[in-house]
Amino acid sequence: MDLLRTCRDYLAAEPVRVSAVLRLPLIALIGVLVWIWEVDHWLPQLYAGILGCYAVAAVVWLLAVLRGPVPRWADWASTIADLAVIIALCLVSGGATAALLPVFFLLPISVAFQDRPTLTAIIGAVTAGGYLTVWIFYSKRDDKVGLPNMVYTHFGFMVWMAVATTALSFVLARRASRLRALQEVRRQLVSEAMQSDERHNREIAEHLHDGPLQTLLAARMELEEARERHPDPALDLVYTALQETASGLRSTVTELHPQVLAQLGLTAGIRELLRQFQIRYDVEVVAELEEVGKPASQSLLYRAARELLTNVGKHAGATTVTVDLMRRGDRVILTVGDDGRGFDPDIVGTSLAAGHIGLGSLLARFDAMGGSMDVDSEPGRGTVVTATSPPEQ
């Protein structure tokens, strides 16, 4: 499953879930109001049947929206169903209608936070019209009741509430739009900064490879020839130092701009990281790497894998590390787990503020780029970090 898309869909469906939760106490209030008034319904069995079915449907709907994806039409469809049920209850309740009237004032509010002004306006208008329709029906059904002037006052209040909630929804929608625009600007700025960083690293790596490293290798070759002509322990020590320096310089060049990543893609790059990790640390590696090609975010994921493996080697005290790489839809998911000493994930923010920017920097980068990084760890039970790439364009 695409973790990030699931998260995004969950947030988009949050108003529906909030409405589903609030619906249950609303049904309870309807039952309590009518019970307190102690009225006789025109059609008591039908009233009880409608209210009972409404309660059961509300529970089923709540379970459905909490467990699975929510369709786009769910927000307005569920509110229309609420309005239809309330009107039906009023029409069959007779004298209990007056007890149910406050419910009409609550329905537009439940729609306002969905950031859909048009829907809010429609529901508000239909609610006001439904309220007036109920009273007209009631007055025609019972000649003793008539149509009190209070009904028109309440109708005016409901029209005002429809306008107010629509304006509120419009303001919320504008703010949400601005927030999305700011997030997109942030993502673009981070992306440009990362690209600039990658270009800078590539330039430095090319300079080191074509300049100092080649000079060092040439000096080593000349020294090797000198050793063959004039064996000397001092030359051997210099030769060893040159070899170690050349090896360290190659390692630096690879870290700045890994050629295997550029030429063969992310899977080969992480496989090479694991090979180097096993050379440096006495930790068993269990890897399951799918071929994911060269995703646009491969540099970010490669950097995450390198940082996480380095943390395992230096700090975790682990005996086994597991690395999984897979593609799910338009995302690439990297998981690195270990059986080490673990830590409190809450310290990541504190470490970032103190200048230790490794893991905290990765979290910020993934978040800014539209990806995610989940850290699951506790002291004494190891760590599992799941990094999900931004969506492929």
Provide the residue ranges of all domains of the chain, joining segments of one domain with +: 3-186, 197-256, 259-388
> Which of 337, 310, 311, 335 lies closest to 324 in space, CA to CA?
335
C-alpha distances in Å from residue 211, one per residue of 206, 207, 307: 8, 6, 28
* Torsion from C-alpha of 236, 242, 244, 246, nearest 10 degrees: -150
pLDDT for 41 beyond 50: yes
State residue 125's pLDDT score: 87
pLDDT for 139 beyond 70: yes
pLDDT greater at residue 183 or residue 308: 308
Structure tokens at 109: 């509010």
pLDDT for 296 beyond 70: yes
Report d(CA 138, CA 145) in Å as an integer.
8
pLDDT confidence of 93, banded at 50, 70, 90?
confident
pLDDT for 145 beyond 70: no
Torsional class of 41: left (φ above 0), alpha (ψ -120 to 50), beta (otherwise)? beta
- Do 142 and 134 touch, CB atoms closer than 8 A? no
Report d(CA 249, CA 242) in Å as an integer.
10
Instruction: Please count the other Cβ atoms lying within 10 Å of the Cβ belonging to residue 175.
Output: 11
Report d(CA 3, CA 227) in Å as an integer.
60
Q: Spell out the residues 6+ positions from residue 206 whose beta carbon is closer than 8 angstroms to its own.
A: 257
pLDDT for 37 beyond 60: yes
Report d(CA 256, CA 265) in Å as an integer.
16
pLDDT confidence of 39, banded at 50, 70, 90?
low
Please tell me the pTM assigned to this model: 0.54
pLDDT greater at residue 366 or residue 33: 366
pLDDT confidence of 142, banded at 50, 70, 90?
low
For 46-50, 111-115, 219-223, which range has the lowest pLDDT when averaged over its residues?
111-115
CATH architecture assigned to 259-388:
2-Layer Sandwich (3.30)
Q: Spell out the residues 6+ positions from residue 162 whose beta carbon is closer than 8 angstroms to its own.
A: 108, 120, 121, 123, 124, 125, 127, 128
State residue 6's pLDDT score: 41
Q: Spell out the residues 6+ positions from residue 76 whose beta carbon is closer than 8 angstroms to its own.
A: 111, 116, 119, 123
